[in-house]
Every structure is written in structure tokens, then in C-alpha cells.
Amino acid sequence: MTKRVITSIDVARLAGVSQSAVSRAFSTTASISPATREKVFKAAEALNYKPNRIPSIMLTGRSGMIGIIVGGLRNPLYGSALEQLSAGIREAGFQVLLVQVMDTVTLEMALDTLAGYRVDALITALAIGSEDTAAALSALNIPVICFNSALIGPGISSVRSNNFDSGRRVAALMQEWGVERPYWLAGPVVNAASRARRAGFLEGWGAKKLSVTELQGDDHYDSAFSAVSEALRAGHRPDGLFCSNDLMGCGALDALKDTGGMSCPEDVVVVGYDNIPQAAWHSYQLSSFDQRPDALVAASLDILARSLSAPDERLSETHVIEADLVLRRSTSRTLAP
């Protein structure tokens, strides 16, 4: 025998209120007295009632959901930021719809899905460099926040680390440390943050007339270990290495030691980016830029709140957060008296 679905009418009868009061009790914007809401919630709990949100979505055009698009989650930075974002969104009275995609092709497919769910806003941590993709995001006609990306446009805001200045700062510090053979270990070409760090690093070395040797990775440990090992076997001997992120920084440190027999920081200084927990492990002690994900998340949530309160304005803002350099053993020359 099929069990009958509990409806708002059942809850209204048990709570002794009208059906419209039940609807208002489960709305984040409707006016209702605390006493009435409490009666409705107690009745709903007793009946195991789950409100049907479809009528509200049809009526208001808003779902109460915020879509979050992520790529790979192997970098612990994004896991931590996602946790903080999700908590902040729930505290604001919304639900999170998480979508994982790996490239712009699957992103375009995901946008159709998100539009079907009528998410009220979208936060994406995926590297986006295509004008077509930016246009597709803007065409959703909802607030879009690009987390740690340089992309902006109508209705699209950006919150990111100051990648360029961080790269320039590393170059200046390496010059103080006496580096004469600087190397840059890049992330994927599509990664705008990696490109900005590279640009700042190269500009910082420009006045010294020293060329920077560039190695290519893909943001992950294995790619860094392979790229640095291959360079070492080809006779390259860096004395300063800036890595696009910490996962590659750890891979580079292991390659320098295992493949090149080099000591850090005696033979080479290494700097990463993100300040993930692994960077502080005893075996690495990697100096790294802390992107301050709490500040990135706070700025994203602030834009989200203002965008939802004034949807017709279609905010398009850029917030740049200064990164903090955390010095560890991999650059301990800086700690000498």
C-alpha cells in the first residue's frame, strides 16, 4: 500500500493555523509571528513534513539556492574555501547546489542544469579565460562571482588574490637572497592566477637583466616532480624556484632532493603559493603566500548579499586581496641575522 504524502493542509490542521501560515513559516522573507512559526515547525516535525518548494519557485522565480561550481578539489585551498563559503551561504538562509566540472566544455553543460534549477546566484572557482564562457555566464541574468579569477563582465564580479604583486615580491626577495638562476614553475596555461604570478615574477627580474627559466606543470605534485626532475637531468641547476602553488612546490622540493641531490635552502630557495597545511609539514617547511581564504570568502559573500538585494543593478566589481608571505625553512636565508 502506497503511503500518503503529508501536505501543508495536514500540518495546518495539526498546528491549528491556516494553510497560508504554513507557507509563510517556511519562507525566509514572509512575515509571521515567532509563536506561529514555532507551532508550524513542531507540527511539521511530528508529521515528518517536507515542504514542496516548486510552487514558491514558480511564483517568485527564486529557488533559495546558490550554485557553486568547482573544478578539481585536490588543492586543499579550495576545500577550505568551499567549506567557509557553504557555511556563509547557509547562514544567509540559502541552500548550496554544488556542481563539479573539469573544463569549459562541461561548464557549459552545467550552466544549462543550473539555469533549470533557477539558482539565485552563482559562484565559480573554475579558471575561466574564454569570452564565450563569460558571455554565457552573463546571459544567466543572475549575480555571478568568480572566486580567485580575473574575469568580470555584466553581472559578473571577481574576488582574487594579488597574484601579480606577489610574483614581483618574490623576485625582489630572491635578488636580496643572491639568486642568480631564477626558475618559474607554471600551472596550466588556462589558469589566470598562474599567469599573473608569472607576469609579476618576470617583471621583477626585468631590471636585473637576468633571464628566468620556465618549467611547465599542471598544478599538481606529480607534474612538478616530473618537470623539475627532467630539468635537473638535462643539467639545469636553479638556485631560486617560484612555484605557482604549494602542491607543485612540494613536488619540486622532493625532486630537487631525490633527483638533483640539492639541499634547500643551501643550494636553492623555493617559494610556493596558497599556504596549504602540507606546506608547513616538517619534511617540506615550504615558504608560501597565504591567499587569506577567509578574506576572499568574506568579500564574495558581501558581493552576493548586495547583488541579491538589488538584482537590477547587475553588480560588476573586482576585489583584490593582498596575500601574506609566510617564511619557512625553504627560504631560511631570510631568517639569518
Residue whose C-alpha cell reads 548586495 in the numeric block: 306
Give the range among 80-89, 92-101, 215-224, 259-268 with minimum mean pLDDT: 92-101
**Cα(24)–Cα(30) distance, rounded to whole angstroms?**
5
| Peptide bond preceding 265 in cis form (omega within 30 of 0) | yes
Phi, psi torsion values for 253, nearest 5 degrees? -60, -45
The secondary element (H helix, E strand) that includes residue 96 is strand 95-100
> What tens digit of pLDDT does each residue of 148-186 get?
777 777 888 989 999 999 999 999 999 999 999 999 999
- Show the cell assigned to 320: 583584490
Q: What is the CATH number of domain 63-161+293-322?
A: 3.40.50.2300
- Domain boundaries defined on the chain: 8-52, 63-161+293-322, 163-290
**Mean pLDDT of the residues in the chain:** 85
**Cα(275)–Cα(280) distance, rounded to whole angstroms?**
8
What is the secondary structure of 298-335 as a DSSP string? HHHHHHHHHHHHSGGG----EEEEPPEEEP-GGGGGGG
Region 297-322 average pLDDT: 88
Is the separation of the CB atoms in 188 and 127 below 8 Å?
Answer: yes
Q: Which residues, in sequence order, are bridge partners of residue 161?
A: 321
- Show the cell assigned to 107: 561548464
Residues sharing a CB contact under 8 Å with residue 92, sequence separation 6 or more, in sequence order: 301, 304, 305
> What tens digit of pLDDT does each residue of 23-68 get?
788 776 667 888 998 898 898 888 887 665 545 544 444 567 888 8
Number of helical H runs and strand E runs in the chain: 12, 12
Is the separation of the CB atoms in 70 and 146 below 8 Å?
Answer: no
Region 202-209 average pLDDT: 87
Q: What is the pLDDT of residue 335?
A: 46
| Sign of torsion over alpha carbons 193, 196, 198, 204 | negative
Over 70: is that where the pLDDT of 201 sits? yes
**Shortest CA distance to 69 belongs to which of 98, 103, 42?**
98
How does DSSP classify residue 154?
T
Q: How confident is the model at residue 229 (pLDDT cuts 50, 70, 90)?
A: very high
Phi, psi torsion values for 232, nearest 5 degrees? -65, -40
Region 199-213 average pLDDT: 90
Q: What is the CATH number of domain 163-290?
A: 3.40.50.2300
Residue whose C-alpha cell reads 533549470 in the numeric block: 116
Domains 8-52 and 63-161+293-322 share a fold: no
Q: What is the pLDDT of residue 272?
A: 97
Q: How much of the chain, in percent, has pLDDT values that exceed 90?
A: 42
> What tens digit of pLDDT does each residue of 60-105 get?
445 678 888 887 667 788 788 888 888 888 888 888 888 877 665 5
Residues sharing a CB contact under 8 Å with residue 125, sequence separation 6 or more, in sequence order: 68, 69, 70, 71, 78, 81, 82, 147, 148, 149
Q: Which CATH class is domain 8-52?
A: mainly alpha
